[in-house]
Homo-oligomer: A and B are copies of this chain.
Amino acid sequence: MKRVIKTQTEFEGRIYEEHVVIEGQGLEAWPQDASLKIVGQPQPRIDGAARVTGQAHYTYDIRLPGMLYGAILRSPHAHARLLAINTERARALPGVQLILTHENIPEIPWGNGQTRLLDTTLCYAGDEVACVVARDPDIARDALELIEVEYQQLPWVLDPLAALEPGEPQVYQRGDLEAGFKAADIVLERSFRTQTALHNCLETHGSVAYWEGDQLTVWDSTQHIFGVRQGLAAALGLSLNKVRVIKKYMGGGFGSKNRLGKYTVLAALAARRLGRPVQLMLSRKEENLAAGNRHATVQRLKLGAKRDGSLTAISLKAWAAVGAYGFAMAVGGPVRQLYRCANLRTEEYGVRTNTGPNSAFRAPGYVEGAFALESALDELAHELNIDPLELRLKNYTERDQIMDKPYSSKGLGQAYRRGAELIGWRKRGHTPAGAKLRRGFGMASQIWGGGGGPPAHALCKLNPDGTALVISGTQDLGTGTKTVLAQIAAEELGFPLEAISVEIGDTRGPYAPLSAGSMTVSSVGPAVRMAAHDARQQLLEVAAQLLETRPAELSIAEGYLIAPGGRRVALKELLADKLGQFIIIGRGARGPNPEDRRVNTFGAQFAEVEVDLDTGAVRVLRLVAVHESGRVINPLTIGSQIEGGIIQGLGFALLEGRVVDRNRGIVLNANLEDYKIPTMLDVPPINHEMIDLADTYANNLGAKGIGEPAIIPTAAAIANAVYDAIGVRLTELPLRRAAILQL
């Protein structure tokens, strides 16, 4: 029985109501003391061998008969009007099959109607101008240089503050801000800046489009195959049954692959026109110009507190440079949620600049926001002469203050204690003053959404030899989704792990949401458990008839049916041998979220750094991370997520940043030579642990999600450690040597 229910969700401080269709009541969560055999165990990736041997096929690897290759001509100017375009010489190049320009394609609106698929107004250096399709990618790229374009340059702006067109801000307010600040014994006001960061997924964005008659199949490097299907259908005027989107393996997304890309639509248009498949992959340079970034921010933060450290008021005014066609992320999230504070206001502006459009980037907004909040709080602690950790405990809250509900679970207190123990927080000390090498300790904490939610669906198909296939239209960004889903199904079915295969990344499978927001395991996993449960019930029904008993008398363990009296019957014997083609398809859906609880993830990180006052170099000596994200399904994959998040956070703290030529509006480091990301030599020892709590309110797994939490506090923890080392607050990321040397 399906039920239509109303659910409440919070986004950017606002509460939204929507209808969701719910199937059944779901299953009770495995309790904290459940004796699980496969869930909770460190399981290597079930697709690890395929990935490391090169047998895994990514979008770039797709080869179809007659396939052609596309390349995109991009604006060389930060802002320009296209006056004329001449493709004659390019079309004459042998091997060129088609050139799409604004003159020969339909008007397809793009970026919430701000532009078109190919527009004559170009809003950043990298904006799409034309698309060449040729028999090989080199010819396509050569042809780009033969296209003659006449541009009229227009004025442009780069800096979020300079660009400020006072659009409608996102405002959130609670309590009485003025009264809050009045009640404060101390008020601290600071400005922070964070930089534009590039995702640099190992696998660049790209698509292969292939028409069979009126049926379009697209292989796309996307975090949301169903979203791409929806977007493509809308852009091309197709119904949803005519579009299929596939993504089997992914080399990272980090949020940059959440949405439909122009390259996908261009490939589909060209393939339709030519009657042949078209592959269009972005180069690394294009990737870094046009495929999204973490927006630069300016944040003005004001904290009011009592002498004992309790917060009386917080206000934040934030500007985010969303680029040409992007939109602002919730920079104010940490401020609104992380600490108990009755009087609070956030005011956030998304500011258009003539740079590549921003997009979500692992914990978007929260990384930027946490840097400001946690730096300011650290400073407040020093001003008040309170231990920074004590200050955080002073303002600890067990309730969500936006929706006014208790948290479903919150292990942040344990994380603080365990992290402090691991880093040696109580015993921390400074290098004697005057030394060239200064050591310091810093910490920061994290809040992030968690627990996922509906809709998410899965199927679990049993084979007659007692093995199973789990099918879900979710994606695996490289995080280990397939392995975790296999563990969940194996646990529920009572089958060994190797008896489970997992098929994902195909819109022919059941709907699953965007693989983002750290919600894949907690949205899709419960649906998989339900599907496995349904399959198991059907299996017991059939087995009971064959064994002339009742289903309740039977159980399954390690692939054997346990009959009354403890008799073990191999499933294969019972099913394959007796019934031949024995069919069970279990169906499962993510149940509803709890109505009276708010589900979030929490964690704390601690850094020890060494700053060289002669060179300005910051060396991170140690990082400790303790997070609470509900039940741990697989310690190995969760560990990879934490390490990956921390390393990206370290890059954000110390190395990364897009550099734009102020005189020309052109990106100077859209490559991996000049844009620095951490290498293994930059990575310090990382000591991470999970507070492994089953969150029985969150969903039937008790898991809340881990993709994003780990990146959130890293930069702030490092910055606070640098402050601790040198006694001077750096308010701009990345923490530059030059800035330290200027102190």
Select the stretch in A32-40, A52-60, A352-360 that faces chain B: A52-60
Residue from B55, B242, B581, B589 in contact with A583 in the complex, judged by beta carbons closer than 8 Å: B589
Distance (Å) between the CB of A326 and the closest chain B CB?
A: 23
* Cα of A459 to Cα of B460 in the assembled complex, Å: 13
Select the stretch in A140-148, A541-549, A604-612, A625-633 that faces chain B: A541-549
Residues from chain B with Cβ under 8 Å of A499 in the complex = 239, 241
CB–CB B465/A240 < 8 A:
yes
Residues from chain B with Cβ under 8 Å of A325 in the complex = none
CB–CB B508/A469 < 8 A:
yes
Residues from chain B with Cβ under 8 Å of A66 in the complex = 54
CB–CB A241/B501 < 8 A:
yes
CB–CB A61/B65 < 8 A:
yes
CB–CB B50/A213 < 8 A:
yes
- Residue on B with the closest CB to A559? B239
A64 CB within 8 Å of chain B? yes
- Answer whether A585 and B459 are a contact pair too, CB < 8 Å, given A49-B214, A241-B467: yes
A255 CB within 8 Å of chain B? no
CB–CB B2/A538 < 8 A:
yes
What 0/1 pattern do residues 539 to 570 of A give for CB contact below 8 A with B? Answer: 00110011000000000000000000000000
Residue from B46, B56, B212, B455 in contact with A581 in the complex, judged by beta carbons closer than 8 Å: B455
- Answer whether A50 and B239 are a contact pair too, CB < 8 Å, given A511-B583, A538-B2: no
A405 CB within 8 Å of chain B? no
A591 CB within 8 Å of chain B? no
CB–CB A64/B53 < 8 A:
no
CB–CB A240/B467 < 8 A:
yes
CB–CB B47/A212 < 8 A:
yes
A18 CB within 8 Å of chain B? yes
CB–CB A275/B213 < 8 A:
no
A587 CB within 8 Å of chain B? yes
CB–CB B47/A213 < 8 A:
yes
A578 CB within 8 Å of chain B? yes
CB–CB B510/A578 < 8 A:
no
Distance (Å) between the CB of A497 and the closest chain B CB?
A: 11
CB–CB A64/B63 < 8 A:
yes
CB–CB A215/B501 < 8 A:
yes
- Residue on B with the closest CB to A575? B21
Q: Copies per complex? A: 2
A424 CB within 8 Å of chain B? no
Residues from chain B with Cβ under 8 Å of A46 in the complex = 213
* Cα of A211 to Cα of B1 in the assembled complex, Å: 41
Distance (Å) between the CB of A328 and the closest chain B CB?
A: 23
* Cα of A587 to Cα of B578 in the assembled complex, Å: 24
What 0/1 pattern do residues 65 to 88 of A give for CB contact below 8 A with B? Answer: 110000000000000000000000
CB–CB A19/B579 < 8 A:
yes
Residues from chain B with Cβ under 8 Å of A57 in the complex = 64-65, 212
A226 CB within 8 Å of chain B? yes
- Residue on B with the closest CB to A545? B4
A533 CB within 8 Å of chain B? no
Residues from chain B with Cβ under 8 Å of A498 in the complex = 239
Residues from chain B with Cβ under 8 Å of A20 in the complex = 579
A3 CB within 8 Å of chain B? yes
- Residue on B with the closest CB to A544? B4
* Cα of A181 to Cα of B211 in the assembled complex, Å: 65
CB–CB A587/B587 < 8 A:
yes
CB–CB A583/B510 < 8 A:
yes
A658 CB within 8 Å of chain B? no
CB–CB A579/B65 < 8 A:
no
- Answer whether A513 and B581 are a contact pair too, CB < 8 Å, given A213-B48, A213-B50, A213-B53: yes
Question: Can you offer 15 A-B residue contacts whose CB atoms are under 8 A?
Answer: A4-B579, A19-B546, A21-B579, A46-B213, A50-B211, A55-B210, A215-B501, A239-B467, A240-B465, A241-B499, A457-B583, A459-B585, A503-B508, A513-B581, A583-B589
Q: 3 closest pairs, A vs B, by CB?
A: A49-B213, A50-B212, A241-B467
A residues bordering B, Cβ < 8 Å? Answer: 1-4, 18-21, 46-50, 53-57, 61, 63-66, 210-215, 226, 233, 239-242, 275, 455, 457, 459, 461, 463-465, 467-469, 471, 498-501, 503, 508, 510-511, 513, 538, 541-542, 545-546, 578-585, 587, 589
Given contacts A61-B64, A226-B581, A587-B587, 8 further A-B contacts (CB under 8 A): A19-B578, A46-B213, A55-B211, A63-B63, A457-B585, A459-B585, A510-B583, A510-B585
